[in-house]
Structure 1
């Protein structure tokens, strides 16, 4: 048997340490309740436990088998078990769909929720009278049923109906509350992978709601087991037919107290077992019951996953990964998306060339995620259309639902299903595409190997680190064979190392598959490493687009300027195209390079720009873009005649690689940054709050008309 590696052993020990630490909580970790609250809690517990203890002192425990062996006790016991199991099954079959319906929003749902809870609040005998008035021999429906030879009242069927009426609300309320407060992102992920309504319900929604379903079912079973009032009013008390344990206990109380107490003890015991079963972590219990050698094999498997990637002989080479690709060397396709969403104030019209990577950037709330959702089919492209490779996905010509568009979406949350294994996650995506189970398993393993996650195949989806989850989500998305990959900031929550690995992985897989990539990011490193083109959104509009190098080197929007560290000064235009300048609110003028110097073929290139913005009108609002390396700092104004000499106050210093970034404020709302060496900081005595002389190279300053 393989020995566990030291790395894996240390990881497992680190996982166990917090558990042991919690079990040995010291004084510093204690968080006691107020004494009054504790005292009231003890009184509340006594109010529940003492009656049970009191009854236990009256039970003849030594004679319990003989008392329960009487014919009447046996008949009541087995009748209760049969009817309770039957009624609970009916509660699940009818209650789960009802809970799903009540968890949605539709007109009148609040009234429906009240009606669903009503049987829980009414006295049981009133429930029995209501049932008798409806299904009794002279009831609203019972009269017709009797004519047809199907009498209901005073039969075993009536017992089951009474139990369903009073117990189903317990299941419905418990499950409906869990469904209404659930996180729906897993279902959205399943839809984006191509899962239909039944698959989403059966494999995602209900499995994630299993704890609530189990507790609701247990409560319904326990309530059915203890039902008395509705049963005696609607079904009567005929031995062997309708006399369940609660009725037998009530009737035996006067003539045979010992048997009555024995049946009561059994009833309480059954209720305790039923409800207690829902409080057991069956997954943990099963792991403790596994044979030792199976647990050791699982540990060895995890240990292999913790070893360096190069040490795993099972990891296929790049060529092998490509040959196992489910797409078989498919290629990306052109994307055209145009729509208007008035409720979100987003109006977008953009194109992405086939096989290229286009980054979508902009401030928070600018509409980037909205564009991704429209492209993926999670939102309608109102007043527009989405076209991929000439195929209309959304528009007047029709609508292709999410998961059938050959578009894969990865959001900031990886969306790995926690109730499935890693392999099961990828198999799920392939099964949604109609692939057979055997073929789906084979291709899922190939996709996991292609992203370096094959050693995680048997690990639960909820036991992954952020970087591992991102890899699994990428493998699952690529398994669907997309022509377009949409990444909505999937690397935002990763640490620096995991982010670098994810960038390399995305770049390699997109190159291997020839995919078209639409990338949403706030990280300039993502742009330089992945993007060939950039589209800038601001307030729901495209304000700038073009090749990545040009957008980053000569930004024309405030957002990109700040993203690249360029300072944005605001004021009014002063001068003309040959001698452009920007007059600040204080009256100082910042001079920029002549427009001829900027005529490098980029002006007017933006399809969504307004050419009138290229003309500088004196007195019109404008901005000056000042990169950090254009600013030199001095104690006093230098000799000569530099065109831009301004006084600024140091507001902060920050290490930036080998340099120091000095933040400066020229006047209220006008801020600069300068990149200087640590030696210059010491030589000039730069400290926060000190005033320094800022000399700005005019040739590196761009004066532009202000947009918006």
Structure 2
């Protein structure tokens, strides 16, 4: 027995399961467009929220004179850029960049190892270890840095080495927490299957674990970089004035008078690397999701 479909005219209205509740004339698929519009609107609002406060800095960066009550600078020029360079802005920028990268390179794998041990139950006394790892976040920065600096001076540790060590200790809680969240969602069956096929521990690490955890490692490295890049207090105490970074130069320029243009240039320079890294992080995350899908 066959059923003929001849003469059956399809309904112009979508089925009931594809209609919005309370509005039988609109298909449910239209909600995707509404969600996309909401996401775009939210992104634009967030972009305006963060960029609008930077407009005065952008104006001051190229202002030779800005007299009240003018809404824009009354005289434009590059005196602020020249002043920032004369105060050591370029060398301080490079020092901060190198310091942030060094902290990220050291603290990221250490945080990953600690997170792996805590997530899999390999670490002895996990509660005590967790308390020790997160102690730099709980302790007052000034007291911790001052106390550690006394030990570093008595051990004749060079200021740069001591500064990197202290900042790595401060960054490890952030990298550990970020990687612990990643390991909680990590599927170890891929590693177990690779081991059954004869792969060694190092092969499993570099061909299975690291590629799957690349987004989490990138986020952890970004957080560790921010610790080294934006630090001021530890650099002043432990660095002992021998390590001049961008926050130190910016604070020194802001403490004076008549350096508004130079302070604006230095402040914008301090924002550029985190924004660039954040954009690269978002792009790599989208590519990773596309590759997995």
* Distance in 2 between residues matched to 1:72 and 1:188, nearest whole Å: 53
Aligned partner of 2:162 in structure 1 is 158
Distance 1:88 1:129, change over 3 A: same
Are residues 1:27 and 2:14 paired? Answer: no
1:213 aligned counterpart, secondary structure: helix
Aligned structure 1 segments of 4 or more residues deviating by more than 6 angstroms: 39-47
2:88 aligned counterpart, secondary structure: helix
* Distance in 1 between residues matched to 2:97 and 2:145, nearest whole Å: 20
Aligned partner of 1:224 in structure 2 is 228
Aligned partner of 1:502 in structure 2 is none
Aligned partner of 2:135 in structure 1 is 118
Aligned partner of 2:149 in structure 1 is 132
Aligned partner of 1:199 in structure 2 is 203
The total of aligned residue pairs comes to 246
- Contact preservation (8 Å) 1:124, 1:166: no
Superposition pairs of residues 397-476 of structure 1, within 5 angstroms: 462=292
Are residues 1:179 and 2:183 paired? Answer: yes
2:282 aligned counterpart, secondary structure: coil
Superposition pairs of residues 671-690 of structure 1, within 5 angstroms: none
Superposition pairs of residues 469-508 of structure 1, within 5 angstroms: none
2:193 aligned counterpart, secondary structure: helix
Aligned partner of 1:84 in structure 2 is 100
Are residues 1:234 and 2:238 paired? Answer: yes
Aligned partner of 2:275 in structure 1 is 272
Aligned partner of 1:260 in structure 2 is 263
* Distance in 2 between residues matched to 1:266 and 1:104, nearest whole Å: 41
Aligned partner of 1:250 in structure 2 is 251
Name structure 2 gaps, 5 residues minimum.
1-27, 64-76
- Contact preservation (8 Å) 2:102, 2:164: yes
Distance 1:56 1:200, change over 3 A: same
Report deviation, 1:234. 2.2
Q: For 1:564-606, what per-residue CA distance to the aligned partner results, in whole angstroms no more than 9, with x for missing partners?
A: xxxxxxxxxxxxxxxxxxxxxxxxxxxxxxxxxxxxxxxxxxx
- Contact preservation (8 Å) 1:83, 1:160: yes
Aligned partner of 2:62 in structure 1 is 60
Superposition pairs of residues 310-459 of structure 1, within 5 angstroms: none
Aligned partner of 2:119 in structure 1 is 103
Greater helix proportion: 2
Q: For 1:40-82, what per-residue CA distance to the aligned partner results, in whole angstroms no more than 9, with x for missing partners?
A: 9999877655544444443337526424432522331222222
Report deviation, 1:268. 0.4
- Contact preservation (8 Å) 2:84, 2:263: no
Distance 1:272 1:278, change over 3 A: same
Aligned partner of 2:5 in structure 1 is none
- Contact preservation (8 Å) 2:167, 2:228: yes
- Contact preservation (8 Å) 1:219, 1:275: no
Superposition pairs of residues 530-545 of structure 1, within 5 angstroms: none
Report deviation, 1:182. 0.8
Q: For 1:358-397, what per-residue CA distance to the aligned partner results, in whole angstroms no more than 9, with x for missing partners?
A: xxxxxxxxxxxxxxxxxxxxxxxxxxxxxxxxxxxxxxxx
Report deviation, 1:88. 2.2
* Distance in 2 between residues matched to 1:246 and 1:70, nearest whole Å: 16
- Contact preservation (8 Å) 2:87, 2:249: no
- Contact preservation (8 Å) 1:158, 1:231: no
* Distance in 1 between residues matched to 2:280 and 2:42, nearest whole Å: 28
Q: For the aligned residues, what is the CA RMSD?
A: 3.6
Are residues 1:169 and 2:173 paired? Answer: yes
Report deviation, 1:207. 1.5
* Distance in 1 between residues matched to 2:115 and 2:287, nearest whole Å: 29
2:244 aligned counterpart, secondary structure: coil
- Contact preservation (8 Å) 1:227, 1:246: yes
- Contact preservation (8 Å) 1:116, 1:169: yes
- Contact preservation (8 Å) 1:68, 1:262: yes
Q: For 1:394-429, what per-residue CA distance to the aligned partner results, in whole angstroms no more than 9, with x for missing partners?
A: xxxxxxxxxxxxxxxxxxxxxxxx99xxxxxxxxxx
1:280 aligned counterpart, secondary structure: helix
Distance 1:184 1:277, change over 3 A: same
Report deviation, 1:87. 2.4
* Distance in 2 between residues matched to 1:86 and 1:95, nearest whole Å: 14
* Distance in 1 between residues matched to 2:29 and 2:53, nearest whole Å: 36
Q: Which has the larger radius of gyration?
A: 1
Report deviation, 1:216. 0.9
- Contact preservation (8 Å) 1:84, 1:160: no
- Contact preservation (8 Å) 1:103, 1:179: yes
Name structure 1 gaps, 5 residues minimum.
1-24, 138-142, 286-417, 420-459, 464-708
- Contact preservation (8 Å) 1:67, 1:262: no
